[in-house]
Structure 1
Amino acid sequence: MSATPTAVHDLPLIGPVAPPFVHVMTYNLKSASGRAPHSWWKRRPLVEAVLQAEQPTVLCTQEGRFRQLIELREELDGYDWVHLGRGGGSRSESTAIFWDASRLSPMAYDHVWLSRRPRLIGSRAWGAGTIRMLTWVRFEDKATGKDFHVANVHLDHRSEKARRKGAQMCLDVMSRFYGPAVLAGDFNSGPGDTAHRVLTRGGLVDAWSAAERHLTPEWSTFNRWRTEPVEGGNRIDWILVKSGGRHQEVRVHQAGVNTHSEFDLAPSDHWPVQAVFSVGLR
């Protein structure tokens, strides 16, 4: 049933979930290099308020820089994370993944650059406006014993070819994951665009379409710093899922776009997207 079209002001939208449910959030934090009136030192308390209220099981971030993410990590009690800057080491932005360490154990992880040389740190191709990468983690759920993968990506903002090729690389990575998997991130394009078609025709399912319940309207996730959300615009931040074999089906229970703001200030120029799923629950 559709929600009444009003912005999310009260937190949480979802909040912490108990097993066997998994709460995943994708959040483009906007780089800490932003200037007034959207400086990181002003936005940080708002971002922290959202994360502390929602307590996602897995948090996929885009654009965060190392110092910025360290600051968030200090406020996220009980979370572990994996990070690598797209320029290598702590340099530049990243596709860092955080997780609730009391619930999930990391079993493996890797980083892939979206280029013709995916193992070459800092490589790019196809007219991309900047370096683009994907980070993935394989988790074991301590509560249920089930394994699943989560991949986090940030596709290019400038080149449609880079987005299409990047989406195909994402699909290739996801196809190598045996069992359930989630792909989340900022895709810089909306449903129906080429990147979305590549992924959904390749076997992934948009969690928004699959959700049993929408907690919000389909807000445009790129808010351009406006505090009032817009319905019917581009939802460029997605969560996609794929099921595993028998007893490993992914079921999406809820999905929503979190439009919380305070003091006439948006926490980021993107609204975070959230979903709750389970594996093998009938």
Structure 2
Amino acid sequence: MPDALPTADRPADRSPAPSDVPLIGAPEADLLHVMSLNVRCAIDDTVPGTPDHWPDRAPLVTALLARERPTLLGVQEAHFAQLVTVTGALGDDYRSVGHGREGGAAGEHSAIVYDARRLTLLWWDQYWLSDTPRLAGSTWDHQCPRVVTWARFRDERTGRELLHVNSHLDHESGDARERGARVVRAEIEAAGLPAVFTADTNAPAGRSAPYDVLVTEGGLLDTWLDAADRHGPEVGTFPDYGAPQPGGERIDWILTTPDSEVHAAAINTWTRDGRWPSDHTPVQALLRLA
């Protein structure tokens, strides 16, 4: 993937932190730590000891989140019981919003988890990416229902309001991915607030229709490219439990409205004893929203 910035202007890539040190961690002052994590849904018939087995991965997700402690976390693919693990890792001060994509608690969630000490929830909603967005389980004739969860917050440190939009775009239909990106773009524009978008887009940053809709045409910032500092190298964000590919496709994104300051970004490749928390790497950003 070609670099979007000339080599001389690119921020330096720092070496990854030791395993017991967060890449970003709890933010200071008015900065926000945002993370996007496709947690990989729990599959009932996986075998203990295999990479996908959720009971083996759950302690790794807990350790990762307990160390990083994001202010805002966009989660994709999580079943309800997995959300219990996620919020439990972060502690009693965190809350979550979002329903399953089949309705209620059923199916995968694209939930928003937030630090309620810092952020006051003002409003939240969820809709399906379809021609009938209020109908649970509806689609644009693609295989899996896809949802958008959004939440409006007041930052108690600054008194400012902000919007967080989280989604998981379709893995097969390019048309559905592009249409979903247009829905998200319209929502962010209509809100007129500082906003952050987290997602597993199933589309490569820099060379896909959703990226064109949201970044090239839509004017949102790609936090990885706009970061003043990067904690670690650019690697693909879907290593599928293997070694992340240098310069590989970034299909997991954190985007922000254009007047934001991106202090740092990270693609988190932490493992424990050679085991991964998920088949995706978390992506993180340290932001100041206008």
2:146 corresponding residue in structure 1: 132
Matched-pair contact (CA < 8 Å) for 1:23–1:277: yes
Q: 3-state SS of the aligned residue for 1:176?
A: helix
1:208 corresponding residue in structure 2: 224
Kindly provide the amino acid, as one letter, of the partner of residue 158 in structure 2.
Answer: T
Matched-pair contact (CA < 8 Å) for 1:114–1:124: yes
Kindly provide the amino acid, as one letter, of the partner of residue 105 in structure 2.
Answer: S
- Following superposition, which runs of at least 4 residues in structure 1 exceed 3 angstroms of deviation? 4-11
Matching of residues 10-29 of structure 1 within 5 Å: 10-29=20-39
1:154 corresponding residue in structure 2: 168
Equivalences, count: 273
Q: Quote how far apart the aligned CAs of 1:128 are.
A: 2.2
Matched-pair contact (CA < 8 Å) for 1:7–1:260: no
1:22-51 Cα offsets, whole Å, 9 max, x none, are: 000000000012623121110011111110
1:169 corresponding residue in structure 2: 183
Matched-pair contact (CA < 8 Å) for 1:84–1:96: yes
- Quote the Cα distance in structure 2 between the aligned partners of 1:12 and 1:75: 14
1:40 corresponding residue in structure 2: 54
Kindly provide the amino acid, as one letter, of the partner of residue 80 in structure 1.
Answer: R
Q: 3-state SS of the aligned residue for 1:223?
A: coil
1:223 corresponding residue in structure 2: 239
1:189 is aligned to 2:203: yes
Q: Quote how far apart the aligned CAs of 1:4 are.
A: 5.3
1:246 corresponding residue in structure 2: none
1:178 corresponding residue in structure 2: 192
Using the size of structure 2 for normalisation, the TM-score is: 0.90
Matching of residues 1-282 of structure 1 within 5 Å: 1-3=11-13, 9-33=19-43, 35-36=46-47, 37=50, 38-77=52-91, 78-125=93-140, 127-191=141-205, 192-200=207-215, 201-226=217-242, 228-243=243-258, 249-280=259-290
Using the size of structure 1 for normalisation, the TM-score is: 0.93
Kindly provide the amino acid, as one letter, of the partner of residue 178 in structure 1.
Answer: G
- Quote the Cα distance in structure 2 between the aligned partners of 1:85 and 1:96: 9
Matched-pair contact (CA < 8 Å) for 1:8–1:260: no
- For structure 1, the residue ranges without an aligned partner over 5 or more in a row are 244-248
RMSD after superposition: 1.5
- Quote the Cα distance in structure 2 between the aligned partners of 1:54 and 1:75: 10
Kindly provide the amino acid, as one letter, of the partner of residue 231 in structure 1.
Answer: P
1:211–1:33 CA distance, 2 compared to 1 (3 A)? same
Q: 3-state SS of the aligned residue for 1:92?
A: coil
Matched-pair contact (CA < 8 Å) for 1:223–1:229: yes
Q: 3-state SS of the aligned residue for 1:229?
A: coil
Q: 3-state SS of the aligned residue for 2:263?
A: strand
Kindly provide the amino acid, as one letter, of the partner of residue 21 in structure 1.
Answer: L
- Quote the Cα distance in structure 1 between the aligned partners of 2:263 and 2:219: 19
Identity of matched residues, %:
39
